[in-house]
Amino acid sequence: MKLPFSFPGVQRAPDPSDELPASPPLECAQAEIERWNAEWIEYLKQEWEVQLTPYTDYPRKPSLPASPLAMLGLEIREGWPISLYADADSLEGRRVMEMGCGCGNLGKLLGRYVESYLGTDYSTLALKIARLVSPSNCSYVHVADRAGLSPFFNTIDTVVGRYFWIHQNFQLAGWNLDFLALFLKPGGRLYADFYWPNPALEQAVVFTPDHALSRAYPSATFRYTAEDVQRLIAGRPFRVLREEISPEMQRRYTVLERLPGP
Ligand SMILES: C[S@@+](CC[C@H](N)C(=O)[O-])C[C@H]1O[C@@H](n2cnc3c(N)ncnc32)[C@H](O)[C@@H]1O
């Protein structure tokens, strides 16, 4: 299905009946779990093979490129660029966490480089698959499982995200930062893949970050300017270390550092 074109920056007229309710991760409601489980059942109709393949089927361990833009093209599974923006030294031997880990497609490949990998997600179904396909240094815990997550508080060196921050509006992104601040050690890094449209490429549905989540377009992307990112971290224990635009990937890759303090 071809989605209607919405030029970056154009705010659609607010329609209260289109608003999809959301809640902070630790208070994630049953309805959200069911919505994301239903999404995964749909994805799996097409993607079951890739998602259900265990890490042992991909034995390669190429060395990690030093440049994060080169990292995007790393092929642990031959012919499949990993599409992750991260510095090699933030992964190798580190305690890494991924928010929105889905079926562990990233964790099952990165597990061989990192000390430990914690994946968290809304979907209980995706987490069950992730546990089956990943090596033993990967743990997968639901976003609302406080008892399961609390042993990881203040232990994480690096938070990564792939196909994640592009779908988070301002309210959700703020809740996510508050949640992730619990896990990151001071000086730890968070790699965020915000959407930044390339006008030369066709766009699907793109909202500005203050737009509510949409029932009609649950896979819409939210475009973040550098100012939106500054507004997002204001009053939160993070600072921007670096940002890099990738026109090919249509991303504003932003590296945040966890500051000391609550
Ligand atoms: C497009 S999938 C990406 C999966 C994975 N990152 C990968 O690269 O294979 C997005 C995932 O994020 C999860 N998700 C979306 N918003 C979330 C949130 N606020 N908290 C936790 N998980 C979320 C969804 O359930 C889904 O599994």
Rounded to whole angstroms, the Cα distance separating 101 from 215 reads: 22
- Choosing from 42, 121, 194 the residue with most ligand 1 atoms within 8 A of its CB, the one to mutate for a pocket test is 121
Q: Counting atoms of ligand 1 from 1, which one is nearest the CA of 172?
A: 19
The single residue listed with the structure tokens 């994480």 is 156
| 25 pocket-lining for ligand 1 (C-beta < 6 Å) | yes
Q: What is the mean pLDDT of residues 193-214?
A: 94
Give the pLDDT of residue 47. 95
Q: Which residue has better confidence, 66 or 229?
A: 229
Q: What are the residue ranges spanned by the domains of the chain?
A: 24-54+67-258
Q: What is the mean pLDDT of residues 68-73?
A: 98
Task: Summarize pLDDT for 15-69 with one digit per residue, the tens.
Answer: 778 888 889 999 999 999 999 999 999 999 999 999 999 999 999 999 999 999 9
Task: Summarize pLDDT for 119-144 with one digit per residue, the tens.
Answer: 999 999 999 999 999 999 999 999 99
- Choosing from 122, 179, 193 the residue with most ligand 1 atoms within 8 A of its CB, the one to mutate for a pocket test is 122
Checking if the pLDDT of 212 tops 60, the result is: yes
- Determine the residue type at 144: A
| 162 pocket-lining for ligand 1 (C-beta < 6 Å) | yes
Two structure tokens written together for 131:
């546990």
Rounded to whole angstroms, the Cα distance separating 28 from 100 reads: 13
Q: How would residue 6 be classed by pLDDT, with cut points 50, 70 and 90?
A: very low
* Nearest in space to 99 (alpha carbons), one of 121, 129, 115: 121
Task: Summarize pLDDT for 144-161 with one digit per residue, the tens.
Answer: 999 999 999 999 999 999
| CATH code assigned to 24-54+67-258 | 3.40.50.150
Give the pLDDT of residue 5. 33
Shortest-distance Cα residue to atom 2 of ligand 1 = 102
Distance 98 CA to ligand 1 centre (A): 9
Two structure tokens written together for 247:
């026109």
